[in-house]
């Protein structure tokens, strides 16, 4: 009963038990987006137009950062087509929602909908999957980082989350721009340049100090929030030959009010089963999944998932194990021996140890 199944296999079994309205768009989500947009515009105006006060500006920065992230979560939903159906309206509202993170809607759809969702945790094709030891052995740039002790790497990895989304988004632009046909390329470029031109224009207009609080700190906070989800969505799970969301995805749990603020983004396994369904209905999907496949379903509180991420090396030695290239300690993944409450390395065979440490020394 533990063989891998496609997301369609699960979806076909769960769908008949969900209400019909779960399969129609939920345009009322836009009200939440409008509220965040008003908060963002007023926050930036307050910092720009009033005298600088570090405490008030810090508080506004935090509100702006959480709003940038929440708008990104809504943008993700909109661009899956679960809020509005019309293509132009989807792109417009999705573009506004992703504006603070400066990710263009056309790029996002190609990277996330068409590649990440179709090839989740496929070691070759998923742009969001972490590298295997073979891929690592080819990437010289990562090697000095992997010579640091695991605890230092864990800490740096966490701090790195504050810039990862922006950096990854740039990498995705570089990777996918060639795949757009030439007529579309100009608009993909514009969707990158217009947000960045706006933010750089703001810098010129209000000066570096105010800009740090109006944009830079909020951007770092937003990066950390979205990455706290994205990093734990799949990175404790195995790589898989079949796109099985119960095997390759993790649903994290957060307090109810956080789910309200973040449009239920925590329900990631459910999202991979029904990416075209409004996340409003994911609690119902979760109930069905836990009823049918409790032994396959993975969930844990967000702090525990982040701690497990911090304590495990971020390299796959094979599809179901993670390896520390320094010393060669091997860790399981979810469903394959990783106990998130007590993360510790497995007993490893000496041969495996020497081959993985050999790679870091090459």
- Residue 116 Cβ, how far from Zn ion at the closest point, in Å? 6
- Residue 120 Cβ, how far from Zn ion at the closest point, in Å? 6
Nearer to Zn ion, 223 or 233 (CB): 233
Q: Which residue is nearest to Zn ion (CB)?
A: 233
- Residue 121 Cβ, how far from Zn ion at the closest point, in Å? 9
Rounded Cα distance, 353 and 13, in Å:
43
**Residue 296: CB atoms within 10 Å:** 19
Nearer to Zn ion, 82 or 317 (CB): 82
Rounded Cα distance, 202 and 294, in Å:
50
Nearer to Zn ion, 118 or 344 (CB): 118
Cβ atoms 195, 268 nearer than 8 A? no
With b for 16 or more beta-carbon neighbours within 10 A and e for fewer, the 99-127 pattern comes to bbbbbbbbbbbbbbbebbbebbbbbeebe
- Residue 101 Cβ, how far from Zn ion at the closest point, in Å? 15
Nearer to Zn ion, 15 or 202 (CB): 15
Nearer to Zn ion, 244 or 324 (CB): 244
Number of residues counted as binding Zn ion (CB under 5 A): 1
Nearer to Zn ion, 126 or 329 (CB): 126
- Residue 146 Cβ, how far from Zn ion at the closest point, in Å? 25
Contact letters for Zn ion, residues 217-246 (x by CB under 5 A): ----------------x-------------
Nearer to Zn ion, 43 or 94 (CB): 94
- Residue 112 Cβ, how far from Zn ion at the closest point, in Å? 5
Rounded Cα distance, 358 and 362, in Å:
6
Nearer to Zn ion, 125 or 147 (CB): 125
- Residue 249 Cβ, how far from Zn ion at the closest point, in Å? 6
Spatial neighbors of 229 by CB under 8 A, at least 6 apart, are 252, 262, 265, 266, 268, 302
Round to the nearest angstrom and report the end-to-end CA distance of the chain: 42
Cβ atoms 191, 105 nearer than 8 A? yes
- Residue 150 Cβ, how far from Zn ion at the closest point, in Å? 25
DSSP 24: S
Rounded Cα distance, 31 and 362, in Å:
55
**253-256 long-range CB contacts below 8 Å, 24 or more apart?**
253/299, 253/300, 253/301, 253/302, 254/301, 254/302
List of residues contacting Zn ion (CB under 5 A): 233
């Amino acid at each position: 009963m533990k063989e891998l199944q496609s997301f369609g296999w699960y979806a076909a079994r769960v769908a008949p038990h969900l209400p019909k309205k779960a399969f129609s768009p939920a345009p009322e989500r836009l009200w939440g987006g409008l509220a965040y947009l008003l908060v963002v515009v007023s926050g930036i105006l307050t910092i720009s137009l009033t005298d600088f006060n570090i405490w008030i500006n810090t508080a506004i920065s935090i509100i702006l950062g959480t709003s940038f992230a929440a708008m990104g979560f809504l943008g993700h939903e909109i661009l899956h087509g679960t809020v509005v159906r019309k293509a132009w309206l989807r792109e417009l509202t999705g573009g506004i929602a992703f504006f603070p993170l400066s990710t263009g809607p056309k790029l996002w759809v190609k990277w996330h909908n068409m590649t990440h969702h179709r090839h989740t945790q496929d070691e070759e094709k998923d742009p969001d999957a972490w590298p295997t030891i073979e891929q690592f052995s080819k990437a010289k740039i990562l090697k000095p980082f992997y010579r640091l002790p695991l605890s230092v790497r864990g800490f740096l990895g966490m701090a790195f989350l504050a810039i990862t989304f922006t950096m990854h988004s740039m990498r995705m632009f570089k990777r996918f721009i060639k795949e757009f046909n030439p007529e579309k390329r100009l608009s993909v470029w514009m969707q990158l340049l217009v947000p960045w031109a706006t933010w750089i224009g703001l810098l010129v207009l209000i000066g570096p100090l105010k800009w740090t609080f109006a944009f830079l700190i909020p951007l770092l906070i937003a990066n950390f929030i979205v990455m706290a989800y994205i990093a734990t969505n799949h990175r404790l799970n195995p790589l898989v030959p079949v796109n099985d969301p119960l095997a390759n995805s993790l649903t994290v749990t957060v307090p109810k009010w956080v789910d309200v603020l973040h449009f239920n983004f925590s329900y990631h396994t459910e999202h991979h089963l029904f990416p075209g369904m409004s996340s409003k209905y994911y609690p119902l999907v979760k109930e069905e999944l836990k009823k049918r496949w409790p032994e396959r379903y993975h969930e844990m509180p967000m702090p525990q998932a982040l701690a497990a991420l911090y304590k495990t090396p971020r390299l796959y030695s094979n599809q179901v194990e993670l390896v520390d290239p320094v010393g060669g300690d091997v860790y399981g993944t979810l469903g394959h021996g990783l106990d998130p409450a007590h993360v510790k390395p497995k007993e490893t065979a000496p041969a495996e140890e020497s081959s993985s440490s050999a790679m870091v020394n090459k």
